[in-house]
Amino acid sequence: MPVAAVQKTKANITLKGSTEIVTEFFKYAVNSILFNRGVYPADDFNMVKKYGLVVLVTSDEALSAYLEKILTQVREWLMKGSIARLVLAIVSKESRVTLERWQFDVDVTEQSEADGHGTGPPPKPESEINADIRAIIKQIVSSVTYLPTLSEPCAFNILAYTSADAQVPEGEWLDTDPHAIEAGKAEAVKLRSFSTNHHKVEAMVAYRYEG
């Protein structure tokens, strides 16, 4: 009598696993923006394979350490559900005017039970999550085709929007200007989104234009 093997399904991604996915996405998204928008010289980046793509990651030790420090805190906020938005603002070094504002909204989503019998959505395959992230990274890379050329030296700021009860390390994060672009001088492009069973990330970029 023939027997069939019991099919095993991959367990739902844990909160910690989801946090790592989102944090890692921020790392590669920020690096891709800084490279593709020319905020740092192209020679300061190395090619690595991620999400089935070749992506660029900074080789500048000071920048790498700075980003890692930020991402370590973002990871902690994600685990506690106390971060709602991460923003990368590109500003003119000379005038300090905000030229671009890359925004990533983070929502905490309901998840099903680990055994797959809960009332929430079914576990989402990591391959599907990676495909969605790949689409966003591709949009960042292609942004040079629709965003105005940044023809002046630029710097960047990273802003985190947290809940009122979030623990914010003193001396490392300061209350700041939201780097909004003035009404009437801004255009926005909505990018793709991705979600796990714990987080949903929606992306967009606003840019300054002189009409």
Kindly report the number of other CB atoms within 10 A of residue 158's CB atom.
17
Residues in the chain, overall count: 211
Query: What was the pLDDT predicted at 3?
Result: 43
Domains of the chain: 15-208 (3.30.900.10)
Tens digits of residue pLDDT in 87-146: 999 999 999 999 999 999 999 986 544 444 445 567 789 999 999 999 999 999 999 999
Tokens of 39: 């905020």
Query: What was the pLDDT predicted at 58?
Result: 97
Query: Rounded to an integer, what distance in angstroms lies between the CA atom of residue 148 and that of residue 190?
Result: 16
Element containing residue 140 per DSSP (H, E): helix 126-141
Query: Rounded to an integer, what distance in angstroms lies between the CA atom of residue 195 and that of residue 172?
Result: 29
Query: Rounded to an integer, what distance in angstroms lies between the CA atom of residue 106 and that of residue 203?
Result: 9
Tens digits of residue pLDDT in 153-207: 999 999 999 998 888 887 778 778 899 999 889 999 999 999 999 999 999 999 9
Tens digits of residue pLDDT in 51-75: 999 999 999 999 999 999 999 999 9
Query: What was the pLDDT predicted at 111?
Result: 54
Q: How far apart are the first and last CA of the chain?
A: 76
Query: Rounded to an integer, what distance in angstroms lies between the CA atom of residue 131 and that of residue 70?
Result: 25
Q: Is pLDDT at 10 greater than 60 in this prediction?
A: no
